[in-house]
Structure 1
Amino acid sequence: RKSSGKTEVYSVDHLHGMLPLFSDIYAGAEKAGIKAETMISEYAPGQYELTLHYREDVMQAADDLVRLKRIVRQQARAHGVTACFMAKPIEDYAGSGMHFHVSLQDDAGNNVFAEKEGEGWTDTILHAIGGLRATMGESMLVFAPHLNSWRRFANQSYAPVSTAWGVNNRSVALRIPEGDVKARRIEHRPSGVDANPYLIGATVLAGILYGIENRIDPGPETTGNAYDVDPAGPPIPRDWRSAIDMAVNSDFLKSALGEDMHRTFTAVRQAEYDRVARTISNVDYDLYLYTI
């Protein structure tokens, strides 16, 4: 829907206006055994963020998200509105991300990312970030699988445009949230809400394992605005076609997804690209019909 031009971020009035729908979403989630937590009004018109409770099993976390999206769509239809999970549905506003918070436990159930009191970051969390940075470029097709996904990566759009990492910094791709040391984790921010959570989980965990096994240095932390600096590190593709090419040729992604899934996933994305590439859009007519 259209807006007057001002943002609606954290607007309580907008939340109250949608309360009948949100109440039904929470009720449906509860019946499905899904622990839906905080709901906030976000930056774009009609954009809301819903947090899911932390799961120890990454497959269960992916199940929760997929089932919740179906509940949201169903309840939205019942209330006469449309639930949209495009990564960038409105041209002039920020898109919608799927931020994935991840930590690791040892056999005793201890968080291996958590530092000891008074000490700096553990080597484990730093190497995990190093692995995620090193593999992000060839994994971007998983995090941004469609053409519309790439419209989300615009400067100052709250979506990361590099592999930068930092602490409590929402301009970076990999963020370490401050707070209770027992909850120490990495927030992986590149994925759009249109991405497949099962593939995201597999790819992120494989990147973490790659970094830990190879003791990869994450490089310096970005402390300022990551949009204003060009942090040293592996490049990431800037468009959908480049992401497809990198994914097709990635041994890492073959290992992370398995050869059969890798072949199927990249083939579907290539077929989708071919269909979009031969489609004449209204933008073509606007730019070229009367001018060339």
Structure 2
Amino acid sequence: MNPVNQTPYQLPADATWLITGCSSGIGRAIAEFIASKPNQRLVATARNPSSLGYLSDSNTNILKLALDVASPTSVENAFKAAAAHFGASFHIDVVVNNAGYSLAGDTEAATEEETHNELETNFFGTVRVTMAAVKVMRQHKEHRGGVIYNISSIAGVCAFPGHAFYHAGKFAVEGWSESVAQEMHPDWNINFCIVEPGAIKTNFEFSSMKHTKPHEAYAGEDMPARKMDAFVKEHLHAGVGVEPIAVARVLYHVADRGEKVPLHLPLTATAIQLITMKLQGRLEELETVKDLSAIDKGEPQFKLH
């Protein structure tokens, strides 16, 4: 692998943040936090800009825009609008690709439209915004470089029943981000960070989750997806999770601390635990299949019948 994020990053005093999915949850928390910083500039976006009423209309450092990441035209127009608003001084220093939703339910019941829309938003939307930002970041002379936070999830590393296409999108974000991060020239100073939150106290399950039509073959309470549903609901009712502001604070700190930006950033102790278990499990599995896997070592290490 080519090295990534090779040099310490220092957030400019007048940094411009572009955040998608600011209507609620993590996106809103980050937008509010950045808006509280006097010298930071904010481009807050949402599909419906009326949901951004919590941000000031009189502060010229704050720009509220309509942005549907599933639309290439919408992404292009948002970047043009930001450039027009900030004028000759326009630059993007931090991007937070947060827009997305989960398609939950039985995979066999998912329609073509549902699955394509899920990936269009969660994966291709991230791609569109990222590459538009990379172009601005690498071409700016005075503010060359920046940080691109791609919000993944523990769902981008660990898979659970009943959310196959959400996992597909987040796994895609992880692999794509790791690859494109290696394409950046060190002189560009463009840093990628894949953020992998665990349980965050948002209304994600209610406002940012769509459900497939139930499939009768998977309806039994003993089905894995139904057991997973019950487990999640139990923990939600118990108040498990951290406040979104905690995510906002750590992302700001990572950009502002003057150190190298981590490529992967799990958030919450649960995320670290689950990801560790997943990686340890993969290592153990490698040990059990290595004799089967080493097909480039000549004769097979197993008997053929």
Give the TM-score, by structure 1 length.
0.29
Greater strand content:
2
**RCO higher in structure (CA 8 A, sep ≥6):** 2
Give the TM-score, by structure 2 length.
0.28
Q: Which has the larger radius of gyration?
A: 2
